Structure 1
């Protein structure tokens, strides 16, 4: 049971270069952030610099029978946090990540199960983050998220994620 003001234990870092087991990471995430269990995340995949979730719409339904904007915005923010956290873990950094700024643009209603994709805003975003971490011990990365319902782009989001200095 989580307690206010008490940090959740971190998931041990995988060996550098081996990556994370997506199922183990999602299980830990559900314990660390209790609302995750109610978001409808069915699967998480990583391919290079792309992180993708497959989600069920039902947990995020609004009164109109479509996706609730607040839930979708929370999911885009969390997806960016996961991208940054998993990137850090891949390179052996044991750091905290916080969202510094986030915004969304809703383009079409979400009418069925959907997928969310997250990528760095700049082609060399990960490399620049690594340089900042090495030089200053902290850094920031801009990420973009898209929500697709079938072939329809329903939401575009952008967030800046700050990597805090080591404790």
Structure 2
């Protein structure tokens, strides 16, 4: 049972390619609400993190996606993107969300996918440079939620990588 104020142990850095199933399991232990979000799978390809999610655990009173759950998913996915990118660089660092916004475009009425990518083409390079120069940095990410072919939500977030002493 997790206790407030006690950090969860870090997942050891991968030796080679990240095991996303192991990361997902660790994530559920580290952040208890993850188990209730309906994340069915995760995939990482070309700096794009994709989640497949079930609608059933995220229903609102109208039978569509609950905005609060969808917002939590976009924020968490951005945090995961940065954490996984850092792990791929051999870095175990703390990541926090600095800013997050969501724009709801259409109701979510079925299972869906959430895709997270850097907002700027040179975002990864800028983050790498800041980490090398200052030991900390930020990256802007975009999350898009699709139900079938329909874009239902677009979110933007700024995620900070803290310095080792923060």
Whole-angstrom CA distance in 2 between matches of 1:165 and 1:19: 25
Q: Which consecutive aligned stretches of 4+ in structure 1 deviate over 3 angstroms post-superposition?
A: none
Any conservation in 2 of the 1:57–1:112 contact (CA below 8 Å)? yes
1:10 aligns with 2:10: yes
Aligned to 1:152: 150
Deviation of 1:19 after TM superposition, in Å, equals: 2.8
Whole-angstrom CA distance in 1 between matches of 2:122 and 2:21: 28
Equivalent residues in 2 for 1:96-135, closer than 5 Å: 96-135=94-133
What TM-score do you get using the length of structure 2 for normalisation? 0.98
Deviation of 1:127 after TM superposition, in Å, equals: 1.3
SS in 2 for 1:53: strand
Gaps (5+ residues) in structure 1? none
What TM-score do you get using the length of structure 1 for normalisation? 0.97
SS in 2 for 1:130: helix
SS in 2 for 1:101: strand
Deviation of 1:54 after TM superposition, in Å, equals: 0.1
Q: How large is the RMSD of aligned CA atoms in angstroms?
A: 0.6
Aligned to 2:58: 60
SS in 1 for 2:80: helix
Any conservation in 2 of the 1:94–1:166 contact (CA below 8 Å)? no
Any conservation in 2 of the 1:19–1:89 contact (CA below 8 Å)? no
Aligned to 1:41: 39
